[in-house]
């Protein structure tokens, strides 16, 4: 499926229109080569279903989450206030994002600064579309018979208690979901949430993403499913570290649904 031009909030406002949702792309989804594929997959789903959406484009700035987690409250508030001013200018009501970090901070920490929005992670939005009967798989689904294990993102799981939405999305694929021993509330961070993706390792016997990947591999999966661009990087590196990248794929939920609808190439 070829992507259509994506409209910006500025373009819609100039035409006197407003979208059903604002797709908040995020830094990773905008600039990281692997995460851009997730952005494109989710966009293809939205376009295929004729959902009226827009992006901020060049007006979208970093949410300030990395600064907040690093302890720089001033930098966080400067970034947040700029974003909130723009979102409120466009009277944005509903935001969907493919990044749990963006989801968590806009949902839980922007309100205290004047940013009040309905914020959904794409797993939750896909769940809504599935329950509404809008997402239908092509040819019975291309994942039938595949063993899939799901890695819970820290900011979706333990931070926001979102566990069932991604699993309901996977259930649509008619595949076999095999849970890791450490999953849901007992899940384990891939390391990115603790900034291991951005800095040198502390002294230790094993990298955290290597350990998490080993836990995933114990389920003998065909696919490790993720719902976060940072988890994608950490788990992909872990799979490569075991030289299993030809046998085990790491895919985002949006990519899997896009493949199941025939919008993306099949594995």
Domains of the chain: 9-127 (3.40.50.1860), 137-260 (3.40.50)
Global pTM reads 0.94
CA gap 242, 200 in Å, rounded = 20
Model pLDDT, residue 199:
61
Model pLDDT, residue 136:
83
CB contact at 8 A, 10 and 59 = yes
Model pLDDT, residue 197:
59
Model pLDDT, residue 192:
66
Model pLDDT, residue 249:
97
Which burial class, exposed, middle or buried, applies to 207 when counting CB atoms under 10 A from its CB (0-12, 13-18, 19+)? middle
Q: Which residues, other chains included, contact 196 with Cβ-Cβ below 8 Å and sequence gap of 6+?
A: 207, 208, 209, 234
Q: Which residues, other chains included, contact 33 with Cβ-Cβ below 8 Å and sequence gap of 6+?
A: none
Instruction: Give average pLDDT by consecutive 10-residue segment, the chain, 267 residues.
Output: 88 97 97 97 96 98 93 96 98 98 97 97 97 82 89 94 96 93 91 64 78 96 97 95 95 95 76
């Amino acid at each position: 499926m070829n992507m259509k031009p994506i409209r910006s909030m500025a373009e819609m406002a100039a035409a006197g229109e407003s979208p059903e949702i604002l797709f908040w792309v995020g830094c990773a989804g905008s600039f990281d080569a692997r995460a851009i594929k997730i952005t494109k997959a989710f966009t293809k789903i939205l376009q295929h279903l004729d959902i009226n959406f827009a992006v901020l484009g060049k007006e979208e700035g970093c949410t300030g989450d990395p600064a907040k987690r690093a302890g720089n409250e001033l930098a966080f508030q400067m970034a947040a206030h700029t974003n909130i001013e723009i979102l409120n200018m466009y009277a944005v009501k509903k935001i969907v994002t493919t990044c749990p970090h963006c989801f968590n901070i806009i949902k839980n920490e922007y309100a205290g600064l004047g940013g009040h929005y309905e914020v959904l992670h794409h797993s939750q939005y896909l769940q809504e579309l599935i329950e509404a009967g809008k997402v239908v798989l092509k040819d019975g689904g291309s994942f039938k018979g595949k063993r899939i294990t799901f890695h819970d993102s820290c900011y979706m799981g333990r931070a926001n208690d979102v566990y069932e939405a991604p699993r309901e999305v996977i259930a649509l694929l008619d595949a076999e979901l095999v849970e890791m021993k450490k999953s849901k509330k007992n899940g384990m961070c891939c390391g990115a949430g603790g900034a291991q993706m951005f800095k040198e390792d502390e002294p230790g016997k094993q990298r955290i993403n290597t350990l998490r990947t080993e836990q995933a591999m114990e389920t003998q999966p065909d696919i490790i499913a993720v719902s976060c661009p940072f988890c994608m990087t950490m788990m992909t590196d872990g799979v490569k570290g075991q030289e299993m990248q030809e046998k085990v794929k790491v895919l985002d939920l949006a990519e899997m649904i896009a493949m199941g609808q025939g919008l993306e190439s099949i594995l």
